[in-house]
């Protein structure tokens, strides 16, 4: 039986942003064999608890409207699930929140900064992002430990960067929390799908981000792997010092206990948004997926099926 790790202390240091100080994130530039290091600047306004604000956001590509009229706020102590069918706009929404793309119209504010008015290369290290696209860019011969620790320089593929004992200790701690400490010396290309997902979540947490974005972290996992991951994400979500978290999924069965809010998307538009217990209903799911669905709950978990 899976046992979530004990939590006598928080994994997160970023809550110190409310009292000032510098972030630990670094950026590295490779130039003629040299690696230069720069520590990022001070924390955002300590009085601002809003980490995401999207106002009348639309994203268009050619004649296709990927998002339309989206309004969405995320506060630092919230854990959001974004749920919808394939093509609903979930990944597009997450890429906006990761500062990987700009809206066609509307405004996106991330961590107190407006997209279009901020250097996204300074903003992105403040955001932990885990996606299948990232997994495809990891060198297959990179060790699990190096995949995680190299997030401190925002690079994939360790080169000549130097890491201190604190970096290695944090990487080891995160690998332990996610149940893969024994894989630290394994090559990334030899891992199972579940092991890769957990490695990339550890990497996303390595820089002590102010926001954590998880794009379908349970996709492709078998039942045991899914349940292991859901339990660990639930434990992380219930840590009061954890960053604001957004998890994208197709399935209500993958919603970890401890997540607080839900955004339902269909055809790039919002179906419903708010507290998870208020928004997650059979009626709203039926609207979102275009067929009559029945929602059931067992303890803190949810299950859905087509109505008979």
Which residue is associated with the tokens 């008979």? Answer: 308
Asked if the model's pLDDT at residue 293 lies above 50, the reply is: yes
| pLDDT tens digits along 78-126 | 999 999 999 999 999 999 999 999 999 999 999 999 999 999 988 988 9
Please tell me the distance from the alpha carbon of residue 292 to that of residue 214, in angstroms, as a whole number: 28
Mean pLDDT of the chain: 85
In DSSP terms, 306 is beta-bridged to 293
User: Can you say how many angstroms the Cα of residue 46 is from the centroid of all Cα atoms in its chain?
Assistant: 22
Question: If you compute the radius of gyration of the chain from its CA atoms, what whole number of angstroms results?
Answer: 19
Give the contacts of 259 (CB within 8 A, at least 6 positions apart): 79, 80, 81, 234, 237, 245, 247, 276
Please tell me the distance from the alpha carbon of residue 227 to that of residue 225, in angstroms, as a whole number: 6
pTM across the whole model? 0.83
H-state helical runs in the chain: 90-97, 120-123, 132-135, 144-149, 165-177, 193-206, 223-237, 276-279, 282-289
Please tell me the distance from the alpha carbon of residue 279 to that of residue 20, in angstroms, as a whole number: 36
Asked if the model's pLDDT at residue 144 lies above 90, the reply is: yes
Sequence length of the chain is: 308
């Amino acid at each position: 039986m899976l046992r979530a790790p004990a939590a006598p202390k928080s994994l997160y240091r970023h809550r110190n942003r409310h009292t000032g100080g510098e972030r630990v994130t670094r950026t590295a530039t490779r130039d003629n064999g040299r690696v230069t290091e720069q520590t990022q600047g001070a924390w955002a306004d300590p009085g601002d608890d809003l980490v995401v604000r999207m106002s009348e956001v639309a994203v268009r590509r050619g004649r296709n409207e990927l998002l339309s009229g989206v309004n969405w706020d995320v506060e630092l102590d919230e854990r959001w699930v974004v749920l919808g069918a394939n093509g609903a706009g979930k990944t597009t929404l997450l890429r906006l929140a990761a500062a990987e793309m700009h809206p066609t119209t509307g405004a996106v504010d991330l961590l107190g900064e407006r997209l279009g008015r901020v250097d996204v290369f300074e903003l992105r290290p403040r955001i932990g992002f885990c996606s299948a696209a990232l997994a495809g860019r990891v060198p297959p011969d990179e060790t699990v430990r190096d995949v995680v620790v190299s997030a401190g320089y925002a690079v994939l593929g360790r080169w000549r960067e130097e890491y201190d004992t604190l970096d290695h200790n944090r990487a080891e701690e995160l690998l332990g929390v996610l149940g893969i400490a024994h894989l630290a010396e394994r090559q990334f290309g030899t891992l199972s799908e579940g092991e890769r997902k957990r490695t990339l979540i550890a990497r996303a947490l390595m820089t002590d981000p102010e926001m954590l974005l998880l794009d379908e972290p349970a996709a492709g996992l078998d039942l045991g792997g899914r349940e292991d991951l859901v339990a660990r994400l639930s434990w992380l979500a219930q840590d009061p010092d954890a960053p604001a978290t957004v998890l994208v999924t197709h399935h209500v069965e993958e919603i970890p206990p401890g997540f607080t809010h839900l955004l339902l998307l269909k055809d790039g538009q919002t179906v419903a948004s708010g507290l998870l217990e208020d928004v997650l209903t059979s009626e709203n799911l039926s609207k979102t997926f275009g067929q009559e669905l029945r929602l059931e709950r067992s303890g803190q978990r949810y299950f859905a099926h087509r109505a008979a």
